[in-house]
């Protein structure tokens, strides 16, 4: 499946949570949740851990267990989802039922036959007004195997006391590469994704030309050469929780991570950290169901997805973490944080004040080129 990137950019910009009061409800009432026939009584859900997994737990895993009595096993292996699903398939022993992945990884898994195709209009809940799920999710359905869940971004947080010794705080993405103005350690993810885009933009490449540049060996070399300028001052992270902890401990002056992780350390933990939204990279996250499940496990996985991705459940999740729900009908139901009582709209990456300089990741490009660029990036790291 292909998608119109310009249309998708407009769709992401439109996912702005409305102000209001958080209210728990249902896209379909609890007693209307269809019975799960010939279904397993246990479910293994794979996600990313931390504040994100907690938002999923509160918004739909715990309510689903309360309604069905199903035992849920939580696994935090999503960062290695593609490699592990490939290994499970090769071994003929698939142990996961529902897996949370980014859009580009969903495309890879679908193309390789490792994730099953899902028909949104027969296997997912419609909107409360009857709008079919395919229309409610719209262009966020970027793969036949992908059930969209949230819009998030990878962006930078920085220590608010950085101005005490630098006289200023970082305001733009290229401050990450300015060791003279902002000396000290940075935190970057140990992968090329996002890092090479930022490197090229801070080396003079226009945002609209980034992926054409990366198509060439010279473009990849240019990105890595720019990253070379700060390589000795970088702490490389693999788990989203690492940067918030490094910032809280004062180990780094700035670092990239998922915006929801930064929301947690800033608003929930009240640490001396602030958000830098410039050049945040928008991405989609959602669910896939592995191929190779028994009929009982597949039925349970699809039953869970029907519940977990309905209009209200996605709105409920946004009340625990600052990620925009992927369903159009969910936006008006999101208001205040379920526990802190603060308005969530200003903390969403899609809020107009935050999204003006955002960068939309090209999911198809990464799906086609991720393995090759991963190898080049890891070789560069080791050099």
Q: Residue 20: is its pLDDT beyond 90?
A: no
Same domain, 40 and 140: yes
Q: What is the mean pLDDT of residues 279-293?
A: 95
Give the pLDDT band of residue 351 (cuts 50, 70, 90): confident
- pLDDT for res 7: 46
- pLDDT for res 9: 55
Give the pLDDT band of residue 14 (cuts 50, 70, 90): low
Same domain, 145 and 291: yes
The encoded tokens of residue 293 equal 């499940």
Q: What is the mean pLDDT of residues 145-161?
A: 95
Tell me the pairing of strands 254-258 and 147-159: antiparallel
Q: Residue 322: is its pLDDT beyond 90?
A: yes
Angle at 75 between CA 373 and CA 333, to 5 degrees: 90
Same domain, 234 and 92: no
Do the Cβ atoms of 255 and 188 come closer than 8 Å?
yes
Rounded distance, CA 381 to CA 334, Å?
41
Q: What is the mean pLDDT of residues 203-212?
A: 96
Mean pLDDT (the chain) is 90
Q: Residue 4: is its pLDDT beyond 70?
A: no
Same domain, 163 and 292: no
Q: Residue 293: is its pLDDT beyond 60?
A: yes
Task: Return the higher-pLDDT residue of 118 and 361.
Answer: 118
- pLDDT for res 21: 36
Same domain, 115 and 164: no
The encoded tokens of residue 314 equal 């996605």
* DSSP letters for 186-206: EEEESSSTTHHHHHHHTTT--
Q: What is the mean pLDDT of residues 308-331?
A: 92
Same domain, 326 and 375: no
Same domain, 374 and 259: yes
**pLDDT tens digits, residue range 157-172?**
999 998 787 788 999 9
Give the pLDDT band of residue 183 (cuts 50, 70, 90): very high
- pLDDT for res 277: 95
**pLDDT tens digits, residue range 363-378?**
889 989 999 999 999 9
Same domain, 312 and 371: no
Domain count, the chain: 2
CATH number at residue 375: 3.40.190.10
Write out the residue range of the structural domain in which residue 98 sits.
5-151+284-352
- pLDDT for res 332: 87
Do the Cβ atoms of 360 and 201 come closer than 8 Å?
no
**pLDDT tens digits, residue range 324-338?**
999 999 988 888 998
Give the pLDDT band of residue 98 (cuts 50, 70, 90): very high
Same domain, 106 and 38: yes
- pLDDT for res 1: 40
Sign of CA dihedral 89, 95, 96, 102: negative
Give the pLDDT band of residue 149 (cuts 50, 70, 90): very high
Task: Return the higher-pLDDT residue of 139 and 245.
Answer: 245
Give the pLDDT band of residue 51 (cuts 50, 70, 90): confident
- pLDDT for res 355: 86
Same domain, 12 and 158: no
Model pTM? 0.80
Task: Return the higher-pLDDT residue of 335 and 235.
Answer: 235
Bridge partner list, 186: 234, 254
- pLDDT for res 11: 58
Rounded distance, CA 17 to CA 6, Å?
21
Same domain, 250 and 102: no
- pLDDT for res 139: 87
Least confident residue range of 67-71, 201-205, 260-264, 355-359: 355-359
Same domain, 49 and 33: yes
Rounded distance, CA 171 to CA 244, Å?
18
Rounded distance, CA 11 to CA 117, Å?
23
Q: What is the mean pLDDT of residues 266-272?
A: 94
């Amino acid at each position: 499946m292909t998608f119109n990137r310009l249309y998708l950019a407009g769709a992401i910009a439109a996912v702005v949570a409305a102000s209001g009061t958080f209210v728990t409800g249902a896209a379909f009432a609890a007693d209307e949740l269809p019975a799960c026939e010939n279904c397993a009584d246990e479910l293994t859900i794979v996600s990313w851990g931390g504040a994100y997994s907690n938002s999923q737990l509160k918004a739909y895993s715990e309510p689903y267990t309360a309604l069905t009595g199903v035992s849920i096993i939580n696994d935090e292996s999503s960062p290695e989802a593609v490699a592990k699903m490939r290994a499970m398939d090769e071994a003929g022993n698939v142990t996961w039922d529902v897996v949370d992945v980014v859009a580009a990884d969903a495309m890879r898994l679908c193309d390789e036959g490792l994730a099953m195709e899902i028909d949104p209009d027969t296997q997912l809940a419609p909107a409360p007004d009857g709008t079919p799920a395919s229309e409610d999710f719209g262009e966020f359905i970027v793969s036949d195997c992908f059930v969209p869940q949230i819009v998030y971004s990878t962006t930078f947080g920085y220590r608010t006391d950085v101005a005490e010794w630098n006289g200023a705080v970082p305001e733009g993405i290229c401050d990450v590469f300015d060791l003279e103005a902002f000396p000290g350690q940075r935190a970057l993810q140990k992968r090329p994704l996002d890092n090479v885009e930022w490197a090229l933009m801070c080396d003079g490449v226009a945002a609209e030309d980034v992926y054409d540049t990366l198509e060439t060996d010279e473009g990849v070399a240019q990105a890595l050469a720019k990253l070379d300028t700060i390589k000795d001052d970088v702490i490389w992270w693999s788990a989203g929780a690492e940067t918030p902890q490094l910032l809280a401990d004062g180990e780094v002056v700035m670092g990239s991570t998922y915006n929801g992780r930064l929301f947690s350390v800033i608003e929930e933990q009240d640490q001396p950290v602030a958000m830098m939204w410039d050049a945040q990279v928008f991405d989609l996250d959602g669910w896939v169901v592995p191929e190779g499940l028994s009929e009982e496990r597949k039925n349970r996985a699809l039953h869970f997805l029907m519940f977990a991705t309905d209009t209200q459940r996605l709105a409920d999740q946004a009340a625990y973490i600052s990620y925009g729900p992927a369903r159009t009908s969910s936006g008006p139901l999101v208001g205040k944080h379920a526990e802190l009582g603060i308005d969530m709209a200003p903390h969403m990456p899609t809020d107009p004040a935050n999204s003006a300089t955002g960068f939309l990741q090209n999911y198809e490009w990464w799906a086609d080129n991720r393995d090759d660029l991963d190898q080049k990036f890891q070789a560069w790291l080791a050099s």
